[in-house]
Chain A
Amino acid sequence: MSRPGRDDSPDRLYTVTGGRSRSGPDNPFDLVTLVVAECDPVPGMQSEHAAILRLTERPTAVVEIAAELKLPVSITRILLADLQASGRVSARHPRKAAVPDPDILEQVLVGLRNL
């Protein structure tokens, strides 16, 4: 499998995002934020947006979307922020805490033991 984006010049990526930029810290999408489509793709929609809506019919993590689209994570996050701003996707962000919730750790252990 070839590494995604390897041959993509910054100019191509610039085109994908319409040249818009969103500063990193404001972008709420984590690598493992689960994204869910709120609508179907429509004709004329930017192809990357349409591809994301098809991928996220079921919850799909940002990093999986980036891998499937063969785009760098940061570019994917920009596309997702655009889609969310227009209500076309919703986001289930990881529950962040200074220390992990003991209940979650227990659930992880149970899940791993059941593998």
Chain B
Amino acid sequence: MDSATSDTRTPLGASADNGLKIVVVGGFGAGKTTMVRSVSEIRPLNTEETMTQAGEAVDDLSGVHGKTSTTVAFDFGRITLDSRNVLYLFGAPGQERFWFLWDRLFSGTLGAVVLIDTRRIDDSWYAIDRLEKHGTPFIVACNDFGGPPFTPEQIREALDLDPHVPLVTCDARSRESSKLVLITLVEHIQTLYADQARAPRQELV
């Protein structure tokens, strides 16, 4: 084979023609990579995007010279849904600098899972804020690290979570649990758009 990596690649079927995205966002150590690995049909891969200090992705390379550029890394996995649809699951750090690239990387994403470690709830404030501002549908999943047991009400209050946003607990190491998180997200997205279709937003004249 051509390279070491080619040996372990699992190619998609020839008729695959529609890539879909879901993003798992959370603080360092929240379990993003673990969750991606639990449901992915490929070993999670890691890649990155580079941006200048101004927040532009580096694709005008002549502009890189003399400018400070930073790099954000993210990992991803893949789930073949049927002969045409392929779901890509991205694990993205929630830090501020990552959000410069959100539109560029994750435009058209179906929705997001905010994965939280209840010992560090404040890690996710920023991500929730940004998802709300972007209008990206999301749910919150508490990854159980055996920290102090908070009630859902306590977590909702700490996150100032809209009552319509689903809140679930999970174990990112479990395939079944991670799968349920994704199903909860997609059902939430269905409900959101069904509601919108039923009650179109009134235009102010």
A and B co-occur in one complex: yes
Report how far A66 CA is from B104 CA in the complex, Å.
15
How far in angstroms is the closest Cβ of chain A from B133? Answer: 18
Contact B19 A33 (CB under 8 A): yes
Please tell me the number of chain B residues within 8 Å of chain A, measured between CB atoms: 64
Complex contact A32–B19 (CB within 8 A)? yes
Which residues does chain A contribute within 8 Å of B60, judged by CB atoms? Answer: 21, 23
A31 CB-CB contact with B under 8 Å: yes
- Per the bound structure, the CA–CA distance linking A50 and B45 in Å amounts to 21
Contact B79 A74 (CB under 8 A): no
Are B85 and A107 interface neighbours, CB within 8 A? yes
On chain B, the residues within 8 Å of A31 by CB distance are 19, 21, 88, 90, 105-106
Establish whether residues B86 and A4, one from each chain, have CB atoms under 8 Å apart when the complex forms.
Answer: no
Chain B at the A interface: mostly helix, strand, loop or mixed? mixed
Residues of B within 8 A of A108 (CB): 20, 81, 85, 87, 110, 186
B201 to chain A, nearest CB (A): 12
Contact with B along A48-69 (1 / 0, CB 8 A): 0001001101111101101110
Q: How far is the CB of A66 from chain B (nearest CB, A)?
A: 5
Q: Is B162's CB within 8 Å of the partner chain A?
A: no
Which of B11, B14, B48, B82 contacts A72 (CB under 8 A)?
B48
Which A residues are in CB contact (< 8 Å) with B12?
34, 58-60
Which residues of chain B have C-beta atoms less than 8 A from A5's C-beta? 48, 50, 71
Interface string of A71-111 (1 = CB under 8 A from B): 01111011000000000000010111001101011111111
- B39 nearest CB across to chain A (Å): 7
A94 to chain B, nearest CB (A): 5
| Cβ contacts under 8 Å, A10 to chain B | 58, 61, 64-65, 69
Cβ of B5 within 8 Å of any chain A Cβ, yes or no, is yes
| Contact for B179 among A63, A77, A112, CB less than 8 A | A112
* A99 B193 Cβ-Cβ under 8 A: yes
Among B61, B110, B189, the most chain A Cβ lie within 10 Å of the Cβ of B61
Cβ 8 A contact of A109, one of B46, B79, B104, B187? B187
- Beta-carbon contact of A58 and B14 below 8 Å: yes
Interface size class of A (residues with CB under 8 A): 35 or more
Does B203 lie at the interface of the complex (its beta carbon under 8 Å from any beta carbon of A)? no
Given the known interface contacts A111-B81, A112-B179, the answer about A75 and B11 at a Cβ–Cβ threshold of 8 Å is no
Q: What sequence of 0s and 1s flags, for each residue 1-24 of chain B, a beta carbon within 8 Å of any chain A beta carbon?
A: 011011001011110111111000
Expressed in whole angstroms, the minimum distance between the Cβ of B101 and any Cβ of chain A is: 9
B62 at the interface (CB under 8 A from A): yes
Q: Provide the bound-state CA to CA distance between A75 and B17, in Å.
A: 23
CB pair A74–B57 under 8 Å, yes or no, is: yes
Could you list which residues of chain A lie within 8 angstroms of chain B, going by C-beta atoms?
Answer: 1, 3-6, 10, 13-14, 17, 19, 21-24, 27, 30-34, 51, 54-55, 57-61, 63-64, 66-68, 72-75, 77-78, 92, 94-96, 99-100, 102, 104-113, 115
